[in-house]
Structure 1
Amino acid sequence: MTTMYAALLRGINVGGARKVPMAELRTLLESLGHERVSTYLQSGQAVFASGRRDEDGLAAELALAIEKHFGFTADVIVRDHAYLRDVAEACPFPAAELEAKQVHVTYFSAPADAGRFEAIDRRDFLPEEFRLGDRALYLYVPDGLGRSQLADALARPRVNKGLIATTRNWNTVAKLVELTRPS
């Protein structure tokens, strides 16, 4: 039995650096034995089916293949449909009532305990807010991510130390749930 997964690549195709053409990424995933491979946008999302059940192993395998093929390292998080659906359903903000640029999810490679965020005084950033979820952080930024001081504070190395963290806007969150839905 196969499971549908999304691979989330961090920091590729940004500002002309670390280019990963989506057609090559699809071919690379197929060469690893995955089926029903597709990509979404140019910013590092791929969807595939695999009989394997090891998300961390799948991520490590893809990261190594990217390094060998493209000549640079890329952080990769792999998550299955059930997880992506659960994260979307658990959103503490009214995502359906907001613009997609106002709600984001940062996916983490492992659980992030609340202690990582204790130094951030949430009152300093209002009306921006964040909440922790299952290996995810939900971010509400009324003026968008590019203008968010809270997003900058959350991206600091001391907050994310030892974790891979990659952020997607709500449109992408919802689309990945749709694209990984079992057929």
Structure 2
Amino acid sequence: MPICIALLRGINVSGQKIIKMDQLSAIFESLGFQNVQTYIQSGNVVFLAVEEESEVRVHKIESRLQEELGYEVTVVLRTMEELKEVVERNPYDLPSLTPDEKVYVSFLSGEPAQEAKDRLLSYKNEIDDYRLRTREVYILCRKGYGKSLFSNNFLEKKLGLAATTRNWATVKKLVAMAESLRSKG
């Protein structure tokens, strides 16, 4: 059984789309997923998945969330191996960053078309740096994510794909949780 990480977009933000993590776990378990674990309130779920195509899995999760919660929730899914690769491919030298500089990763629902990639290149600026790698955008925020141009909405508009962002500590924690789940199996 593959170990997967579901990244839910826009839940429990500013009092919108509220869901308790025990309810979220129960929804995932109702889909037949096993060893379901959540991490913080922003919608991170690590679980053992049934064997099926990723697109089918995402559709099942999104449909059940809509059914149970009464609103749409976009889900971006990665396997443990894909998430480990995200960590390994980090283009920034973390030890050299200043205390004010933080790394974030925006996870995309697919790979953007070349035209969209080229369009995004025109938005380079001096406040933030970013690197697009297949289905992720690594963002180096020099003045905080709240002041970054590269919000989920901005990336979705420019790339034509769903996006959800996590800070570097959360990405690393999700990898550790997935590896822990693998060691139990």
The two structures have a TM-score, normalised by structure 2, of: 0.88
Percent of residue pairs identical: 31
Report the Cα offset of residue 156 of structure 1.
5.3
User: 1:125-136 counterparts in 2 under 5 A?
Assistant: 125-136=125-136
Report the Cα offset of residue 73 of structure 1.
0.4
Please tell me whether the aligned partners of residues 35 and 50 of structure 1 are also in contact (alpha carbons under 8 angstroms): yes
Gap runs ≥5 in structure 1: none
Find the residue that maps to 2:150 and give its secondary structure.
helix
Paired with 1:96 and 1:57, the residues of 2 have a C-alpha distance of: 39
Which is worse superposed, 86-95 or 66-75? 86-95
Letter in 2 for 1:78: L
- The question of 1:35 aligning with 2:34 is answered yes
1:165 is matched with 163
1:79 is matched with 78
- Cα 1:56–1:100 change in 2 (3 A) is farther
Letter in 2 for 1:14: V
1:45 is matched with 44
1:146 is matched with 146
User: 1:1-183 counterparts in 2 under 5 A?
Assistant: 2-98=1-97, 102-119=102-119, 120-123=121-124, 125-148=125-148, 150-152=149-151, 155=154, 157-161=156-160, 163-181=161-179, 182-183=182-183
Report the Cα offset of residue 147 of structure 1.
1.4
Gap runs ≥5 in structure 2: none
Paired with 2:63 and 2:152, the residues of 1 have a C-alpha distance of: 30
Please tell me whether the aligned partners of residues 3 and 53 of structure 1 are also in contact (alpha carbons under 8 angstroms): no
Superposed CA RMSD: 2.1
Please tell me whether the aligned partners of residues 122 and 129 of structure 1 are also in contact (alpha carbons under 8 angstroms): no
Please tell me whether the aligned partners of residues 35 and 49 of structure 1 are also in contact (alpha carbons under 8 angstroms): yes
1:98-141 C-alpha deviation (Å, 9 max, x unpaired): 45971011111110245324345355x11411111121111111
Letter in 1 for 2:140: Y
Report the Cα offset of residue 174 of structure 1.
0.7
Which is worse superposed, 84-93 or 94-103? 94-103
